[in-house]
Chains A and B, each alone.
Chain A
């Protein structure tokens, strides 16, 4: 995967806003070794079931220079809804409202939950992983009792170890991201 986002472009485009409506100008502050965007929807059950896993990864890897964002791309997820949802699910990580779905386009994601991993390279962000969090959900309606392969975690570990990043073993399963109406 070789999607490269030019950092200067980020500085001039409103990628997303925070829960106070302020534009987010810096997704990955200096020193970030990996940027994780976790695309979520407050009304998607599978997305919600992954919240504890993302919180676990955040706690585990943030001290190692990994920056995690909960990104809400659906138009129905306005600031009020997301604030309530974050409180309900005890989400204390960085939260972005992807109001014009720039981050969706940047990461090329299609469903919630889905994760994208970017590595800063100079003034650019390079997407090194995009897809499922683990293999618990194989399809809507086909679920393992527990995950046997933790794809996202393996990708993060590879980035931190400077190794080749393994790609997801299967497609992401969840709720389609709602297309913005023109």
Chain B
């Protein structure tokens, strides 16, 4: 009996101990599940001093905001992420899974327990100043902007001139908005001609209102390459390896900011931190646009107004990033590509557009689109009163424009041309041509695409087509200064330099204030042995644009070809004072130093020149000569190899390399290069003589004899060849 009674007691005891051993913690706690989730997804903004309105670093913070966290994650308002999952695979996809959202909800419902604090991961740390370390250069807006306590959102453009006298490549950029909680996002534009600042002389320091802006990209083909888009959760923009962007003296950065009043007056003094690299880009992406602003004519009440555009790609590309853009009426934004085999590849889908949360999206892996693919954009707009973002109540007809209450239909892609043939035009010119032709198909008389198309054609060496396009643009905009100038340049390049000079003169006569046509006229004069005419033009320019390095170096060339070496040198130095990287001045000073038998000094100039224009074979060759004369044979050979890679059909380069190889005892290699030179230039007696010398040294007497005979056949009184022949041992 007693024994029997023991059994239930034991069972009860065992059961009790099981209950006591079970964790007291609820299933979901801050420490185990919520903190890791919050640290991964929320605290880049939600930390003290961050862009989020409150911190979520500590348990107490999260508890304070728990109910909000449940609401805004359930509605997917937070974390901010517009693209639909599965339509493009984006880096930094800031999106919670359904399970994670359910976990937050459960945590809130069950009382927001902390759990065991020791089980929580360490909270991330955020720097109070620059997240990426001290920048190499900090630019600050000229005047802090005073944002009113209330009112509608503000879109404002601040100009930050680049103050340095040297070019720099930028590998990373960080923006400190000054008052982080009022800045929704910011876009940075590079204004390479300071055109925006010149267009707003009285306002640029305080900022110019406007959601969009246009800048003049200048005369050279230099397309934008990188998205410089900033939003609070990505304070640092780090460019991929090999893709830094460039800043030149005289350029401006324009900070286009979207500011949201906070309820109290705010003073925002934005700063841009730039991080340099010595390495110029090895990959050249390009920003490509689809748009159809002309189709934007949205009647009031329209709920599904469609705007579309498409663009056929002329080359293989990798799409690196995408930036869809509309204003407040945008509703559903979609982009995709149709591949040549008709397969559809989604690029992005934003089912509920919200301008406040716009962003650039970068693909986790580049999206390959073969040549012939067609990129499409299809945007829907809602101009009814059911659209809460509608800036007009009641709705009114809305067209395209730069103000926030106007609309836009833009899609930007960052593409990297791939599988590019080694010879042939820059593939970005083909993309530019396709883009401009697409633009013209929508608006045939727009001067911008007409001009850009002509430039793209000229850049590809299609001068006759370019001339037709420039003339077309001039027919629509007679006397346009820049178009005339570029027409002149295309004519000059096509070989019709007399006609070119006529056009330049027409441009100079009708626009005496501008220097472009005068500059080209002067260069044409120089090229066609009219040095004194060139001098006259350059001097006229100096009176008008004295701070232009290219004018000084151009005048230098004119003086040099006129035999005025000292005056020329002075002009080259004047050019370098303005722009230490002026290629013409560097190269000519290097050459003059070579001629004056100062190879070390020559090397100093030419080293900078080569860095400035690494694709110039002549500069590499001259630097090789400077090194060779300074006894730096290995460096010289290195430069010659680079020059040969750029210009493999230049016999002089092979000849020089052969000489250098022979000097370092690499006889067989020297013979190979000498023969390469002779393949390109069979009738050079000196080369045959030199080959003979190499063959003789290598012990190949018969070959050497033949070579000397070859030289003498070409030049019967070639003294060295004759002497060398006599020196050979008898056969």
Listed residue (A44, A88, A145, A175) with the most chain B CB atoms within 10 angstroms of its CB: A145
A178 pairs with B64, CB closer than 8 A? yes
Binds B, one of A30-38, A45-53, A122-130, A154-162: A45-53
Provide the B140-161 mask, 1 if CB < 8 A to any CB of A, else 0.
0000000001111100000000
A49 pairs with B356, CB closer than 8 A? no
Please measure, in the bound complex, the distance between the C-alpha atom of A48 and the C-alpha atom of B261, giving whole angstroms. 10
Given A145-B152, A146-B152, verify A140-B264 contact (CB < 8 Å). no
Other-chain contact of A48, B262, B388, B405 (Cβ < 8 Å): B262
Provide the B77-121 mask, 1 if CB < 8 A to any CB of A, else 0.
110000000000000000000000000000000000000000000
Residues of B within 8 A of A50 (CB): 263
Residues of A within 8 A of B390 (CB): 144-145
A90 at the interface (CB under 8 A from B): yes
State the Cβ distance, A174 to closest chain B Cβ, in Å.
Answer: 9
A182 at the interface (CB under 8 A from B): no
Known A44-B53, A45-B181, A176-B68; 5 more pairs at CB < 8 Å: A43-B53, A52-B149, A52-B263, A145-B390, A176-B71
Listed residue (A50, A51, A76, A144) with the most chain B CB atoms within 10 angstroms of its CB: A144
B150 pairs with A49, CB closer than 8 A? yes
B53 pairs with A88, CB closer than 8 A? no
Given A43-B53, A52-B150, A90-B264, verify A140-B72 contact (CB < 8 Å). yes
Instruction: Name the residue of chain B whose CB is nearest to the CB of A135.
Output: B388
Please measure, in the bound complex, the distance between the C-alpha atom of A143 and the C-alpha atom of B152, giving whole angstroms. 11
Instruction: Name the residue of chain B whose CB is nearest to the CB of A50.
Output: B263
Instruction: Name the residue of chain B whose CB is nearest to the CB of A147.
Output: B393
State the Cβ distance, A78 to closest chain B Cβ, in Å.
Answer: 14
B72 pairs with A53, CB closer than 8 A? no
A139 pairs with B75, CB closer than 8 A? yes
B150 pairs with A142, CB closer than 8 A? no
B67 pairs with A145, CB closer than 8 A? no
Please measure, in the bound complex, the distance between the C-alpha atom of A89 and the C-alpha atom of B72, giving whole angstroms. 26
Interface residues of B (CB under 8 A from A): 53-54, 64-65, 67-68, 71-72, 75, 77-78, 149-153, 181, 261-264, 328, 354, 356, 388-391, 393, 404-405
B54 pairs with A43, CB closer than 8 A? yes
A60 at the interface (CB under 8 A from B): no
Provide the A41-77 mask, 1 if CB < 8 A to any CB of B, else 0.
0011101111111000000000000000000001010
B404 pairs with A141, CB closer than 8 A? no
B391 pairs with A49, CB closer than 8 A? no
State the Cβ distance, B104 to closest chain A Cβ, in Å.
Answer: 14
A144 pairs with B389, CB closer than 8 A? yes
State the Cβ distance, A172 to closest chain B Cβ, in Å.
Answer: 13
Contacts between chains A and B (CB distance < 8 A), count: 70
Given A43-B54, A49-B262, verify A141-B77 contact (CB < 8 Å). yes
A26 at the interface (CB under 8 A from B): no
B263 pairs with A49, CB closer than 8 A? yes
Other-chain contact of B404, A143, A145, A176 (Cβ < 8 Å): A145
State the Cβ distance, B704 to closest chain A Cβ, in Å.
Answer: 86
Given A138-B388, A142-B388, A145-B404, verify A45-B72 contact (CB < 8 Å). no
A2 at the interface (CB under 8 A from B): no
State the Cβ distance, B152 to closest chain A Cβ, in Å.
Answer: 5
A143 pairs with B149, CB closer than 8 A? no
State the Cβ distance, A88 to closest chain B Cβ, in Å.
Answer: 6
A148 at the interface (CB under 8 A from B): yes
Instruction: Name the residue of chain A whose CB is nearest to the CB of B65.
Output: A175
Residues of A within 8 A of B404 (CB): 145
A51 pairs with B53, CB closer than 8 A? no
Given A142-B388, A146-B152, verify A88-B72 contact (CB < 8 Å). no
Instruction: Name the residue of chain A whose CB is nearest to the CB of B76.
Output: A141
Other-chain contact of A140, B75, B149, B153, B328 (Cβ < 8 Å): B75
- Would you list 8 pairs from A and B whose C-beta atoms are within 8 A, ordered by A residue? A48-B264, A51-B263, A52-B261, A140-B77, A143-B356, A144-B389, A145-B328, A175-B65
Given A45-B262, A143-B356, A144-B388, verify A51-B149 contact (CB < 8 Å). yes
Please measure, in the bound complex, the distance between the C-alpha atom of A51 and the C-alpha atom of B151, giving whole angstroms. 12
State the Cβ distance, A8 to closest chain B Cβ, in Å.
Answer: 35
Please measure, in the bound complex, the distance between the C-alpha atom of A89 and the C-alpha atom of B261, giving whole angstroms. 12
A88 pairs with B262, CB closer than 8 A? no
Instruction: Name the residue of chain A whose CB is nearest to the CB of B80.
Output: A141
Residues of A within 8 A of B75 (CB): 139-141
Residues of B within 8 A of A52 (CB): 149-150, 261, 263
Residues of B within 8 A of A53 (CB): 150
State the Cβ distance, A106 to closest chain B Cβ, in Å.
Answer: 21
State the Cβ distance, B441 to closest chain A Cβ, in Å.
Answer: 34
Please measure, in the bound complex, the distance between the C-alpha atom of A175 and the C-alpha atom of B390, giving whole angstroms. 24
Listed residue (B150, B181, B389, B390) with the most chain A CB atoms within 10 angstroms of its CB: B150
Listed residue (B54, B151, B261, B263) with the most chain A CB atoms within 10 angstroms of its CB: B263
Residues of B within 8 A of A146 (CB): 151-152, 391
B389 pairs with A145, CB closer than 8 A? yes
Instruction: Name the residue of chain B whose CB is nearest to the CB of A45.
Output: B53
